Amino acid sequence: MNPRLDITSGRRFGCTMCGNCCVEDGYVHLSAFEVRRIADYLGLAPSVFKGRYLVDEDPDTLAASIPVKDGKGCPLLTPDRQCSVHPVKPSQCSTWPFWPEMIGEAAEWQRCKSYCPGLDAKDGRLYSESEIRGLVTLGGRTDESG
Ligand code: SF4
Ligand code: SF4
């Protein structure tokens, strides 16, 4: 069994806004509420937002996901690598890097250091164990891509 990430003394994280995590292939998952909130923020009807950003939707739950593939990055990322919906970005993005798979396996945290300079950054904020556990609960996702 692979060891879990040691969070007993907390972990440091400081985002440099490099945008690397937003170009990792995977999916950005959005709840139905997040779809509406982001569409509102962009001044778009939800249907227009979904059409424009290639959102796959579960017809039962209305939860949706934006595929990030072929190294092209999240379609909500601007050319200068900023999140165009930063104030209302999905919880998947706002809870990075404290995702279940990152905490559940130390090797995954180490792997993601190859592209995320914020992980264990010496000048990053120290998140306590309880803060981390709270963020893991909020995020609750299973795929990659920040
Ligand atoms: S890769 Fe890490 S440091 Fe860069 S924007 Fe994403 S979270 Fe921030
Ligand atoms: S929604 Fe924003 S923070 Fe999340 S992956 Fe897309 S560009 Fe990055």
Ligand 2 centre to CA of 1 (Å) is 32
Residues of the chain with confidence (pLDDT) below 70:
139-146
CA of 133 to the centre of ligand 1 (A): 20
Q: What pLDDT was estimated at residue 88? A: 97
**pLDDT 10s digits, 86-113:** 999 999 999 999 999 999 999 999 999 9
| Number of structural domains found in the chain | 1
Is the C-beta atom of 116 inside 6 A of ligand 2? Answer: no
- How far is it, in rounded angstroms, from Cα 47 to Cα 76? 16
- Whether pTM exceeds 0.95: no
DSSP state of 133: H
3-class SS at 106? helix
Say what the pLDDT of residue 132 is. Answer: 96
Asked whether residue 60 is domain-assigned, the answer is yes
- Identify the domain containing residue 87 by its residue range: 11-139
In a domain, 112, yes or no: yes
Mutate to test the pocket of ligand 1, among 13, 16, 74, 123 (most ligand atoms within 8 A of CB): 16
Residue 61 confidence (pLDDT): 86
Write down the pLDDT at residue 139: 67
Q: Is residue 5 part of a domain?
A: no
- In this prediction, residue 70 carries a pLDDT of 94
Nearest protein CA to atom 7 of ligand 1, as residue: 15
Phi, psi for residue 41 in degrees, rounded to 5: -60, -35
The verdict on residue 2 lying in a domain is no
Name the CA dihedral angle for 23, 52, 56, 27, rounded to a multiple of 10 degrees.
10
Question: What confidence score (pLDDT) does residue 42 get?
Answer: 98
Residue 46 counted as domain residue: yes
- Which of 21, 30, 34, 77 has most ligand 2 atoms within 8 Å of its beta carbon, as the pocket-test mutant? 77
Q: Residue 17: inside a domain, yes or no? A: yes
